[in-house]
């Protein structure tokens, strides 16, 4: 579990770092195009570049967001249940979500393969698109890994011998930001 936790943290932190760079690049490319347009030299393909950078920014942040419990969810009902029941529900939920995002990751990977084989090019710059789809698939893989770790953790909570009186030692508390 320690290795899995470490690998999950390292991979998603690395992806988040690339997402951050991509975000800044997105801002600079957009502002750069606006400035060069003001001087009568618009840069072709800025919109395409922005969309790809936006895809990397969002996809690479998915796992990091999951680790920090950043995806909106409703605590109202489950918080009234006992810890063990909550852990069982979490276990089933994370198992389902892991399967779902495995499908998403794999099919994005296949979709990139289809684009590669068909030689699909972007409309303005006429460059290959598929590498960006592979990157999106990698971002979804980061999320899948984060979900697998959550699943393993909730299994350990559900099957631990402690009864639900206190917070289990496996209870996950995201590190870093509040």
CB closer to other proteins, 2 vs 76: 76
Binding mask 78-117 for other proteins (x = CB under 8 A): x----------xx--x--xx--x--xx--xx-xx------
Measured from the CB atom, is 58 or 171 closer to other proteins?
58
Considering only 5, 9, 14, 30, the residue that binds other proteins (CB under 8 A) is 30
Q: In sequence order, which ranges of the chain are alpha helices (DSSP H)?
A: 2-38, 46-67, 83-118, 130-159
- 70: contact with other proteins by CB under 8 A: yes
Question: Which residues, including other chains, have CB under 8 Å from residue 22's CB and lie 6 or more apart?
Answer: 53, 56, 57, 60
Q: Does the footprint of other proteins cover residue 4 (CB under 8 A)?
A: no
Q: For residue 169, what are its two tokens?
A: 């030692």
Across-strand partners of 128? Answer: 121
> Which 8-state DSSP code applies to residue 64?
H
Check: CB of residue 94 under 8 Å from CB of residue 147. yes
CA 79 to chain centre: 26
Interface residues toward other proteins, by CB under 8 A: 16, 19-20, 23-24, 26-28, 30-31, 33-34, 47, 50-55, 57-62, 64-65, 68, 70-78, 89-90, 93, 96-97, 100, 103-104, 107-108, 110-111, 132-133, 136, 139-140, 177-178
């Amino acid at each position: 579990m320690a290795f899995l936790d470490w690998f999950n943290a390292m991979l998603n932190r690395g992806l988040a770092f690339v997402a951050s760079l991509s975000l800044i690049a997105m801002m600079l490319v957009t502002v750069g195009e606006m400035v060069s347009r003001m001087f009568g030299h618009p840069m072709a393909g800025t919109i395409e570049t922005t969309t790809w950078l936006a895809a990397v920014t969002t996809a690479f942040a998915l796992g990091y967001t999951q680790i920090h419990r950043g995806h909106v969810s409703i605590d109202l009902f489950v918080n009234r249940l006992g810890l063990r029941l909550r852990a069982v529900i979490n276990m089933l939920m994370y198992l389902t979500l892991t399967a779902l995002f495995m499908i998403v990751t794999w099919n994005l990977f296949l979709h990139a393969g289809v684009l590669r084989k068909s030689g699909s090019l972007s409309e303005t710059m006429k460059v290959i698109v598929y590498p960006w789809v592979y990157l999106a698939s990698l971002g979804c893989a980061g999320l899948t890994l984060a979900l697998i770790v959550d699943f393993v953790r909730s299994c350990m909570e559900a099957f631990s011998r402690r009864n639900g009186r206190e917070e289990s030692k496996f209870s996950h508390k995201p590190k870093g930001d509040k």
